[in-house]
Amino acid sequence: MKVLVTGAAGFIGSHVAHALIDRGIEVVGIDTLNAYYDPVLKKARLERLTVSPKFSFQQADVSDRDQMNGLMADNPDIRIVVHLAAQAGVRYSLVDPYSYVNTNVMGQVVLLEACRKLPSLEHFIYASSSSVYGQNTSLPFKESDRVDAPGSLYAVTKRAGELTATAYAHLHGIPQTGLRFFTVYGPWGRPDMAYYGFAKAICAGEPVTLYEGSGLSRDFTYIDDITSGVLAVMDHPAKAGEARLFNLGGDHPEKVTRLIGLLEETLGRKAQIEFRPRPAADMESTWASLEAVQKLSGWKPETNLETGIGIFSAWFRNFQGF
């Protein structure tokens, strides 16, 4: 079996690629290696993958029609696509909205059009986000909730990806599954994520910015749980013409203040906290209902925040040299 993983140098993409290789699956990985955050980290993730003969890599942009058409022509035996490439980050969508539309919307359309040329395609799995729940306040978030009040352009582009998938399933029969990820963390993570930024600030003796609000909490999800969730969905594919959506979360919201406390414990340093007003684009709380994915596959997260942050902090100290 051959699987295409887009965003293979990314945080989730690299972990999913490793898990597929461990199953003996041939993986074709693509990534732009853009400079949204330090490409050195992306290249380090890739180096860990390229030691395997089961992995091949191409630097490519999912929004480039010629590159995607050429990729499919060179790999007509791709059976599953795991589309994780995206312009990530809620707040950065206020800075450069065009990159979100180009990568997250145009990129998904271009990739799906190219996938129509694959004779053996069995399943198209793609990354959505908990951000699509936007201004919803009813917890936990369920896939059946209305998602027509986005709180950021990032959320708009992720919801557009879901609607695009539904249309392509209906029009072209491509089996589709979208996964709404909830605050993924762990080793080899993204430096733009809050937990990573907190760790850097704590170790450097710099102020940690914490947004005001006693209810500020997130459904933190450890990377290995996200990876096993992706594979569980892959093992239970959608049918032709079907477009599904599932939450993948930790199923246990934690206050951000507890996250900081665990980082202080595992890094052995105290945080200097500065409180600021919460940006309008940031949600106050998130919590994933997992009923749907558990009914499908039996998947459930296994790693609690204390264990996950301990593993992350050990990796962080080693990788960052603290």
Catalytic residue among 92, 126, 133, 154: 154
pTM of the model: 0.96
Beta bridge partners of 221: 184
- Are 105 and 62 contacting, i.e. CB atoms less than 8 angstroms apart? no
**Can 98 be counted among the known catalytic residues?**
no
pLDDT in 10s for each residue of the chain, 322 residues:
999 999 999 999 999 999 999 999 999 999 999 999 999 999 999 999 999 999 999 999 999 999 999 999 999 999 999 999 999 888 888 889 999 999 999 999 999 999 999 999 999 999 999 999 998 889 999 999 999 999 999 999 999 999 999 999 999 999 999 999 999 999 999 999 999 999 999 999 999 988 866 668 999 999 999 999 999 999 999 999 999 999 999 998 999 999 999 999 999 999 999 988 877 667 789 999 999 999 999 999 999 999 999 999 999 999 998 8
The 8-class DSSP code of residue 55 comes to: E
Domains and CATH numbers, the chain: 2-182+223-249+287-302 (3.40.50.720)
Q: DSSP for 24-50, please give it.
A: T-EEEEEE---SSS-HHHHHHHHHHHT
Q: DSSP for 199-227, please give it.
A: HHHHHHTPEEEEES-TT-EE--EEHHHHH
